């Protein structure tokens, strides 16, 4: 399994703690250090809509100008934004065998999926 996010995000910390408490091994992918690739984003967008992959409640989104926000209108413009500002991606993203298992963290969802 892979867990994608940024280490100082409180929601990512909750997910990492939960996985550790349940003895589940995973590889952590830090968006800040390792970035994100267009092919990976395109893969994810075959599994979930771009509107769910962008975290509109997060600080990165809120700090965008109105012009930047209104420019995100489809998959391609969403990918462009996520490539330029990876912290706008909803996190954590838990992936197993190339498939998104959970988007965000919910103890209930993790229990059900894992």
Tokens of 70: 């209104």
Tokens of 51: 């509107």
d(CA 71, CA 17): 36
Instruction: Tell me which of 3, 5, 6, 9 is the catalytic residue.
Output: 9
Does the active-site annotation cover 102? no
With vertex at residue 12, the alpha carbon angle to CA 53 and CA 106, rounded to the nearest 5 degrees, is: 75
- Rounded to the nearest angstrom, the gap between the alpha carbon of residue 64 and the centroid of all alpha carbons in its chain is 18
Residues labelled as active-site residues: 9
């Amino acid at each position: 399994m892979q867990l994608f996010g940024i280490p100082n995000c409180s929601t990512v910390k909750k997910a990492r703690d939960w996985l550790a408490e349940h003895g589940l091994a995973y590889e952590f992918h830090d968006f800040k250090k390792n970035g994100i690739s267009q092919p990976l984003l395109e893969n994810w967008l075959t599994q979930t809509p771009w509107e769910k992959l962008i975290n509109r409640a997060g600080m990165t989104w809120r700090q965008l100008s109105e012009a930047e926000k209104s420019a995100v209108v489809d998959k391609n413009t969403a990918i462009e934004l996520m490539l330029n500002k990876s912290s706008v991606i909803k996190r954590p993203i838990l992936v197993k065998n190339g498939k998104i298992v959970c988007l965000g963290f919910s103890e209930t969802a993790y229990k059900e999926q894992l």
